[in-house]
Amino acid sequence: MKPISWSKVFRNIWRVNALALFLLLTLSLIAISTSLVSGFFRSSHRTQATAPDLAPQEQGEPELRLGQFSRVGSSSVIRAELRESGGGSFSLKSSGSIIRNVLFIDANDGKSWWLLPDSNSAIEEDHELSLTQNGAEIPFGRVYLVGSGEKETSKQSSIILADAKGNNQVVIAKGSILIDELTTFSVAEAKLLYHDSTEYRLASINPSETKLIKDTKMPIVFPPRK
């Protein structure tokens, strides 16, 4: 009987164990890779949140289009105006078109949101709040005059202060009002002069916190005409 070569036996056992270990590691890597890829796509799907749909357009209604795309400062957010044709040929730069809403899109994750909850109102005025730093304009807020878009003398409007990306906003005033002047002192202080049919008012606002600090009646009396 030929003596057993224990070294050869151990070498064979090691080869089998090494092959089994290799197969186990390969299967583990495949499982981990599959899990990561699946998780990535699930995560990507979650972050692609979009702005809620506005009411669908009915046949015969004025056409709505997005345009006037612009970057918000140096951020990854893009803003676009939703405009309604004022009749005739459609032009996003036409004075006859009406701004119904503003869409904000984060180019990094695809999320988007609307400034206003619907497309029934009209943004009649849009004032950017910005300061110059190192030769560049840095926007940090906007003031909107939002009305019905109609031309009645009794129409109701709202003055809205929002941050530059349209995430936070506060209503400064409501009524039959018009904006006269807007002056920026710093990111934390701006003055807004507006009036209605009876009085002028001066609103002190903090754009950095999207906050109304004080709203004061101004005793302005125009001199008589000769």
> pLDDT tens for residues 52-96?
565 555 556 778 899 889 999 889 999 999 998 764 443 344 456
pLDDT at residue number 60: 60
Asked if 75 and 143 sit in the same domain, the reply is no
Query: Which whole number is the average pLDDT over 165-193?
Result: 93
Asked if 103 and 128 sit in the same domain, the reply is no
Residue 5 lies in a domain: no
Asked if 110 and 125 sit in the same domain, the reply is no
Percent of the chain whose pLDDT exceeds 70: 66
Joined together, the tokens standing for residue 217 give 């009646």
Asked if 116 and 130 sit in the same domain, the reply is no
Q: How far apart, in whole angstroms, are the C-alpha atoms of residue 178 and residue 197?
A: 9
Q: 103 and 40 in contact (C-beta within 8 Å)?
A: no
Q: How far apart, in whole angstroms, are the C-alpha atoms of residue 143 and residue 162?
A: 6
Residue 173 lies in a domain: yes
Q: pLDDT-derived band of residue 8, with 50, 70 and 90 as boundaries?
A: low
Asked if 68 and 161 sit in the same domain, the reply is no
Residue 41 lies in a domain: no
Asked if 223 and 125 sit in the same domain, the reply is yes
Q: 164 and 208 in contact (C-beta within 8 Å)?
A: no
Range of the domain at 216: 121-226
What's the domain count of the chain?
Answer: 2
Asked if 128 and 116 sit in the same domain, the reply is no
Residue 135 lies in a domain: yes
Q: Is the pTM of this model over 0.75?
A: no
